[in-house]
Chains A and B, each alone.
Chain A
Amino acid sequence: MRKRIALLLALVMVFALAFSSVAHADDLITVGIVNNPPSESGYREANVKDFESVFSKENGYDAKFSYSLKNDEQLSAARTFITDGVDYLLISAAETTGWDAVLKDAQDAGVSVFLFDRMIDCDPELFEAAVVSDMAQEGETAVNWLLAQKLDEYNVIHIQGAMGSDAQLGRTGALDEQFEAGTMKKVVQQTATWDEAEAKKITESVINSGEPFNVIYAENDGMAKGAVAALDEAGITHGVGKDVIVMGFDCNKWALRELLAGNWNYDGQCSPFQAQVISDMIQTLEDGGEIEGLNDAKQIISVEKGFDASEITEEDIDTYGLGE
């Protein structure tokens, strides 16, 4: 038993050595990137891919990556990067709090910090800029599109993501305004915590109650797919020119294909592509320039689209679609 444990330890150490001995190249810009692991979601996967391809040796970067869902692990990774003497530190934080000390250290060590995808609660002086999505903006784009459909009445099944998450709050906000204003009727508003199967159950329960509805507003593609499965089983038509309008978010490739086929009506983008924007800003700094175009909170909002089934093209799917 003891021998086996020893062997295991030895193996672990060999791996650790192998991974840590990545060679330094002096003429490259060193970047430490703290992110969530690609397994978190399709969004994150695309996000990770984006950063790994932009911050490559070919583009003049020596990048180190650290992936964790846990704030404390992210914090210690950031510290390690600072001690390693990186030039830039890029962070997508797991939690919004607890970062002040580390960011201070970075500032003292002369490391410039960029935030992406997620904001941190701290003094804006502590970072150069943040490239983020505006989830509320996404919701507004979607709701405006829905209003532009000029339906006689709006009876909406609203399927929410995990309560309290940024995406849920943003995407719910715009719709809630319509519910309150009375322009749209809330048939049901329920959370499926991003779970496709749960979304199906929620839709089923509305169908079973016999209440009329003509819009499904699901806060991600998976839940929209779940809702659609319930419609299919109940013999309710959906999509372009059909009984029920289906709306999703995230722009997975398979979801955009549903749009192209006319089964769904709308898909809102949540752009995971922030790397190029940050790279451009780093180049500006390296050239001695000033970063421009920031808002009061030192943010740059990613440009995000909403796709309409009647306008989407194969090219859009290839450009903006996530996953396979």
Chain B
Amino acid sequence: MKKTKTSQFFSNNSQLLIPLIAILLLIVFNLIRDPEFFSVGITTNNRGDAVLQGNLVSILNGASELVILSMGMTLVTAASGGQDISVGALAAIAGSVFVKVLKGGPAITGTSVFLAFLACCVVAMIFGCFNGSLVAFFNIQPMIATLILFTCGRSIAYWINGGATPTITSPIISAIGSFIPGIPVPTPILIVIVMGILFALLFRFTSLGLYIQSVGINQGAARLNGINAVGIKLLSFILLGACCAVAGMIGVSRLGLINHETILINIEMDAILAVAIGGNNLGGGKFKMLGSVLGAYAIQALTITLYAMKVPSTDVKAYKAVVIIILVALGSPVVKDTMSRFSKKIKSRSGTVGKEAA
């Protein structure tokens, strides 16, 4: 039997199947419910710019922070075999630093925004480094290690600015958080694309992917092949820190305010879920970042669908949980095995039928 290009693609990327199916089901479900659901229109916003609008835009736009965090989470999961549960808290810290720097300066200009972003990046990467050191040097289970920052991160975010919901207003900030004048696509979507390209380039022009997977699968063997396993783990946490900084900046810029208690709250769980739905092994090793990204969009699509269905507030979480249980179960090895055995049976049956016919 000769493998065609497409069948080979699917066998290599079979882990993408689950998030793709999830997204597809949500699309079909919504189209049946409301054929207009995904229609994208152009409206004029209150600043007088023409912008895209519709549920599709809302999903892509709203998922931005989650997508970026799940990219970083994928790396940490792959390298360390555990998850960072402090990403929400760290994004709150990063966002607070961003606000602090901007409030400290005389006026908000392009340069000051850039400097503020650099500052929050550096701070978030230092915290990422802290998490990473606990994991890499002291061999603490990632969830336990990041529990520290998870617990105190939002308090740290509070100390940075003092006030509870400091606000910043500037056309530049709203350009980051909503639309750049003249461009109808929400800026967070553009930032996600940039991040995606950056990661793609990183994997294309370095062998980081190979290193991370080697460390995640077999740290001892990776070390004996000259890979600095500690360094790689540390690096994955630092990259996740950078992702937190970008997510924090977007989160702050959307409304020009930071509420350290609620910004990106509970997003760590969604990010971990995105990695899992994307078919990545939460125990580390091989990973596909695209899977996590699709997983993140699936989660966001689910949320928006529930809002559109006007599911009662008290039931939202229960609905979400049911869908997630199904998705995660579909991706589990047990179900995968059964499915592949089942498909083999069908194939062999159709094979014998074919023979008989011949």
Contacts and interface: CB of A to CB of B under 8 A. Distances in A.
Interface of A: 37-45, 160, 163, 188-191, 193-197, 200-202, 204-205, 207-210, 221-222, 225-226, 229, 231-237, 252, 254, 322-324
B312 interface: yes
A38 to B, nearest CB: 7
A37 B261 CA distance: 12
Contact of B307 (A44, A196, A202, A236): A202
Interface in B294-316: 303-304, 307-308, 310, 312-314, 316
Contact of A235 (B43, B178, B254): B43
A163 B311 CA distance: 14
Interface string B140-165: 00000000000000110011000111
B74 interface: no
A323 B314 contact: no
Interface string B43-59: 11111000101110010
B136 to A, nearest CB: 16
Interface residues of B, number: 46
Given A160-B313, A208-B55, A324 B262 contact: no
B179 A225 contact: no
A194 B263 CA distance: 9
Given A195-B263, A205-B308, 8 more contacts: A190-B307, A190-B310, A201-B304, A205-B307, A229-B178, A233-B53, A235-B46, A323-B166
Given A39-B158, A201-B303, A233-B178, A191 B254 contact: no
Contact of B165 (A38, A189, A207, A252): A252
B260 interface: yes
15 contacts: A42-B164, A160-B313, A163-B313, A188-B310, A195-B265, A196-B254, A197-B62, A205-B304, A208-B58, A222-B165, A229-B254, A229-B255, A232-B178, A233-B45, A233-B46
B46 A232 contact: yes
Residue among B158, B251, B259, B265 with max Cβ neighbours from chain A (10 Å)? B259
A226 B313 contact: no
Interface of B: 34, 36, 43-47, 51, 53-55, 58, 62, 65, 154-155, 158-159, 163-167, 178-179, 186, 251, 254-255, 257, 259-265, 303-304, 307-308, 310, 312-314, 316
Contacts of A323: 163-166
Lowest 3 A-B CB distances belong to which pairs? Answer: A42-B164, A39-B158, A191-B313
Contact of B314 (A163, A222, A232, A254): A163
A222 B259 contact: yes
B178 to A, nearest CB: 6
Contacts of A188: 307, 310
A201 B62 contact: yes
Contacts of B44: 235
Given A200-B254, A201-B62, A235-B44, A41 B53 contact: no
A197 B263 contact: yes
Which residue, of A194, A236, A237, A324, has the highest number of chain B Cβ atoms within 10 A?
A324
B186 to A, nearest CB: 8
Contacts of A197: 62, 65, 251, 254-255, 263-264
